[in-house]
Amino acid sequence: MAVQAQRQATAAPARPRPKRVREEEVLVWPDLVFIEFISAVLFTITFVILSVFINAPLLNRANLDVTPNPSKAPWYFLNLQELLLHMDKAWAGVLIPTIALGFFAAIPFIDRSRHMQGLWFGTKYSVRITVITIIYATVVSFGLVTLDAGDTRLTPLVDFKTEMLTRWIPSCPEAAEDVGWPCLRDEAGAKHLGIVSTKDFSKRLEFEVLGVNWPEDLDNIAWPFNDSIGDWDLGFIGLSNIHGWGGEHLNIPAAMAEQVIPLTLTIVVFPGLIIYTMFRLGWVRTRRDVMIVMYTGVIFGYLALTLIGSFFRGEGQDLIAPWNIKVDEG
Amino acid sequence: MSATEEPGKPRNLSERIQLLQDRIYDRLFHNYIWQSIFRSGYPNTPRNQMLVVATNVFLHLHPTRLQRTHVRVTYTYCLGGLTFFMFIVLTITGVLLMFYYVPSVDRAYQDIAALETNVKFGLLMRNMHRWTAHAMVILVFLHMMRVFYTGAYKPPREFNWVVGVVLLVLTLVLSFTGYLLPWDQLALWAVTVGHGIGGSSPYLGDEVQTVIFGGFEIGQPALIRFYTLHVIALPLLAAIMMAVHFWRIRRDGGMARPL
């Protein structure tokens, strides 16, 4: 081999063949095994010390009659619990996590180029778009949660609540059943508030377009075939009575407030906005870049919601500062 | 190999000690039993260093050689390996906890309380189990982020990434099923939140609550389900998926590197 290579080299001295650079290889024993061993030892020591000084929590014996306030899921599910406050529970608890995991699994089948693998942040602008997306996801998550917290006073110093932004919408006259212009129906005798949370779009906001009144004309629309599709009995495979559409009705205002608005914002509008902006700026150029924005957005949105759920939710799941949280053990 | 050279007579003390050391070493490592267990010689030559990895069932998860970049700690931060290590620690501490724990609503809480006060190192074992479980969840996320930001999911490693996503889910579910077992207020109400989330599944809500939580309230059926899932079904499944995960790293050409 060496002789051959030498001959070729002497035959064509003007065009030396580019030598394939092979990176230096090291032996797994001892180079890698040593690192693994040391990291295992360090972690063992760390966790022994941690476990000596910090005890795992053990509260009172479980009692179904005594509900702590707030009751919280384990921290890694607090993000889902947080979502539950803002949208339909099937979406928050089941469908969004399923979609997120499906998206994770689909990443390599969307971004199929082989380039830039095995390098931290391979593409030209990937560090920049990652950092921007982290900031964006965090700000948007905290921002949306704050907006949806409506009548919570946000700072101890300034009396600002996000419902004040929409207080200009007039209060519905108590006597009138149907109103033309948009108005917000207040509880009898209560002070006029703006839109407190997205749920108010279906509960308190009222208006009329072309003779159709929102929400009362739209909240009980029969599904097509509503009578013919009942509950499905799949008892033969062990699932009895899967609940179909039998007898259920479409509630457009509620679907708008608890599904369409929150989902459009979180899945379409905000991700689309950042991807489109960075695409126009020329920073997002490949599918890899798009995947970076989406993955970073999901992970850091998840992190932000976890932090909110862990540190900013007090009694009754109210949004409050971490130092004001008191747990009522019941 | 076992034939030792007949040395000349030792002339001084240091030579005597040397001779003694050689004899002890010979007796310990060049005997029939030792060599029936370890086929390769002492790993002080490249050949033996490769053999020791290739002939050991635990070490052969590794290749025998690696690129220098991949050995650098700042490439992987050992995150995948540490996640696996947490799993091992959890298995060991978990087995010890099982000796003292009966999954019954009447006994579970007292068992944990007794474990903390009456059992030597019981509290330490429980603490270790708890904190390493949290660490495993964090590490598995960090490992996923490492793989993502180094582009290591790209072809031909697509499937192994999917296996990784399954392992992420298994880790979360393992942690969640373990959460109920102490049967204290924290456990009960955290799982009640999960029970509510499961019940909100479209069309299948009641079925999810019945199959996974054993009813519309957290009680004995939920406890025994979570216990069984936590101590045998899910760890077994996770171990199988890990075997696939590690195997595929080797099959797909080792760790990702720039083309």
> Is the pLDDT at A223 greater than 80, yes or no?
no
Spell out a b/e string for A149-182, using b for 16 or more CB atoms within 10 Å of the CB, else e. Answer: bbeeeeeeeeeebbbeeeeebeebeeeeeebeee
ipTM for the complex shown: 0.89
Are B143 and B221 found together in one domain? yes
User: Which SS3 state, helix, strand or coil, does residue A15 take?
Assistant: coil
Which residues of B, range 11-30, sit inside 8 Å of A by Cβ? none
Q: Are the beta carbons of B53 and A72 separated by less than 8 Å?
A: no
Alpha helices in A54-173 (DSSP H): 78-84, 89-90, 96-110, 126-148
Higher pLDDT, A136 or A213: A136
How far does Cα A296 stand from its chain's mean position?
11
* Cβ neighbours of B205 in A, within 8 Å: 90, 243
The answer to whether residues B46 and B100 belong to one domain is no
- High-pLDDT (> 90) share of chain B, %: 71
Residue B203 domain flag = yes
Q: What's the rounded mean pLDDT across residues A224-253?
A: 67
For residue B2, tell me if it sits in a domain: no
Question: Which residues are paired to A313 by β-bridges?
Answer: A319
Helix (H) or strand (E) holding A286: none
Distance separating alpha carbons of residues B72 and A119, to the nearest angstrom = 12
Q: What local confidence, expressed as pLDDT, does residue A132 receive?
A: 97
Q: How confident is the model at residue A1 (pLDDT cuts 50, 70, 90)?
A: very low
Q: With contacts defined as CB-CB under 8 Å, which chain B residues touch A61?
A: 109, 183-185
CB contacts of A93 in chain B (<8 Å) are 196-198, 200-201
Instruction: Check whether residue B177 and residue B56 sit in a common domain.
Output: no
Provide the pLDDT for residue B1. 45
* Amino acid identity at B68: R
Do B44 and B136 share a domain, yes or no?
Answer: no
Select from B73, B77, B69, B64 the least CA-distant residue to A28.
B64
**What's the CA gap between B62 and A30, in Å, rounded?**
12
Q: Residues B123, B242: one domain?
A: yes
Q: Which of A241-250, B185-194, B201-210 shows the lowest mean pLDDT across its residues? A: A241-250
pLDDT (0 to 100) of residue A122: 86
Does the residue B259 lie in any domain?
A: no
Q: What is the pLDDT of residues A266-318, one digit of tens each?
A: 999 999 999 999 999 999 999 999 999 999 999 999 999 999 999 999 888 88
A139, A307 contact by CB (below 8 A):
no
Q: Does B147 fall in a domain?
A: yes
Q: Taking all residues of chain A, what is their mean pLDDT, rounded to a whole number?
A: 85
Other CB atoms within a 10 A radius of the CB of residue A52 amount to 12
**Contact residues, chain A, for B184 at CB < 8 Å:** 57-62
The amino acid sitting at B192 is: T
Burial zone of A258 (CB within 10 Å; 0-12 exposed, 13-18 middle, 19+ buried): buried
Per the CB < 8 A criterion, the answer to whether B4 and B26 are in contact is yes
Put simply, the answer to whether B154 touches A35 (Cβ < 8 Å) is no
Angle at A73 between CA B230 and CA B241, to 5 degrees: 35
> Higher-confidence residue: A324 or B14?
B14
Q: Based on the domain organization, do B24 and B128 belong to the same domain?
A: no
Report if residue B148 sits inside a domain.
yes
Q: CB B200 to CB A90 under 8 A? A: yes
Task: Please state, in angstroms and as integers, the Cα–Cα distance from residue B65 to each residue in B61, B62, B223, B251, following that order.
Answer: 12, 8, 47, 15
Give the pLDDT mean for A227-239.
Answer: 65
What one-letter code names the amino acid at B153? Y
List the single residue in A with minimal CA-CA distance to B109: A61
Q: In terms of domains, do B230 and B106 share one?
A: yes
In a domain, residue B246? The reply is yes
CA dist list (Å): B206 to B47, B188, B196, B198: 61, 19, 10, 9
Chain A contact for B145 (CB, 8 A cutoff):
yes
How far is A256 from chain B, CA to nearest CA, in Å?
A: 17
Domain that holds residue B182: 73-251
Query: DSSP readout, A64-89?
Result: TT---BS----GGGHHHHHHHTTS-H
Q: Are residues B49 and B96 in the same domain?
A: no
Same domain, B32 and B145: no
How sure is the predictor about B2, in pLDDT bands with cuts at 50, 70 and 90? very low
d(CA A227, CA A247): 7
User: Tokens at residue A44, please?
Assistant: 């063992």
The 8 Å CB, 24+ separation contacts for B179-183 are: B179/A74, B180/B218, B180/B222, B180/B223, B180/B226, B181/B101, B181/B103, B181/B108, B181/B112, B181/B223, B181/B226, B181/B227, B181/B230, B182/A58, B182/B108, B182/B109, B182/B112, B183/A61, B183/A62, B183/B105, B183/B108, B183/B109, B183/B112, B183/B223
Q: CATH code at B179?
A: 1.20.810.10
Residues B31 and B119 in one domain: no
Q: Quick one: average pLDDT of B52-75?
A: 89
Q: Do A112 and B155 touch (CB under 8 A)?
A: yes
Which band of pLDDT confidence, cut at 50, 70 and 90, is reported for residue A194? confident
Chain B interface mutation, best of A119, A124, A133, A288, highest count of B Cβ atoms under 10 Å: A119
Residue among A30, A102, A88 at smallest CA distance from B161: A102
Percent of chain A having pLDDT more than 70? 84
Residue A200: pLDDT band by 50, 70, 90 thresholds? confident
Kindly state whether residue B84 falls inside one of the protein's structural domains.
Answer: yes
**Which of A147 and A20 is assigned the larger pLDDT?**
A147
User: For residues A188 and A194, which has the higher predicted lDDT (pLDDT)?
Assistant: A194
d(CA B10, CA B96): 53
Quote the crossing angle between the two packed helices A33-53 and B79-98, to the nearest 10°.
Answer: 50
pLDDT at A240: 62
| Cβ contact, residue pair B187, A114, below 8 Å | no
Chain B positions in Cβ-Cβ contact with residue A62 (cut-off 8 Å): 105, 109, 183-185, 187-188, 218
Cβ pair B161:A105 closer than 8 A: yes
pLDDT at B34 over 70: yes
Q: Is the pLDDT of residue A8 over 60?
A: no
Residues making up chain B, counted from first to last: 259
CB-CB neighbors (< 8 A) of A259 in chain B: none
B252 touches chain A (CB under 8 A): no
Residues 6+ apart with CB under 8 A from A129: A278, A283, A284, A289, A292, A293, A296
Contact B62 A24 (CB under 8 A): no
- Nearest Cα of chain B lies from the Cα of A178 at a distance, in angstroms, of 34
Spell out which residues of chain B touch residue A243, defining contact as CB-CB under 8 Å.
203, 205-206
Any alpha helices (H) in chain A, and if so which ranges?
Answer: 2-11, 33-53, 78-84, 89-90, 96-110, 126-148, 200-203, 252-255, 261-263, 270-280, 287-311
Per the prediction, chain B carries an average pLDDT of: 92
Average pLDDT over residues B210-218: 90
* Cβ neighbours of A131 in B, within 8 Å: none
Question: Has residue B202 been placed in a domain?
Answer: yes
Interval B186-200 mean pLDDT: 92
Asked whether the predicted pLDDT for residue A76 surpasses 90, the reply is yes
Number of folded domains that form chain B: 2
Asked whether residue B85 falls in the same domain as residue B185, the answer is yes
Tell me if residue A61 falls in helix, strand or coil.
strand
As a whole number, mean pLDDT of residues B112-131 equals: 96
Tens of pLDDT, residue by residue over B218-249, are 999 999 999 999 999 999 999 999 999 999 99
Closest CA to A146 of A315, A312, A13, A23: A312
Question: A270-286: buried (b, 16+ CB within 10 Å) or exposed (e) per residue?
Answer: bbeebbeebeeeebbeb
pLDDT at A261 exceeding the cut of 80: yes
Q: Are residues B195 and B142 in the same domain?
A: yes
The pLDDT assigned to A326 comes to 77
φ, ψ dihedrals at A199, nearest 5°: -60, -25
pLDDT for the residue B150: 95
Q: Which of residues 181-220 of B touch A (CB under 8 A)?
A: 182-190, 192-194, 196-198, 200-207, 217-219
Query: Mean per-residue pLDDT for B156-162?
Result: 96
Average the pLDDT over each of A168-177, A306-315, B121-130 and give the range with the smallest value.
A168-177
**Nearest CA-CA distance, residue A31 and chain B, Å:** 7
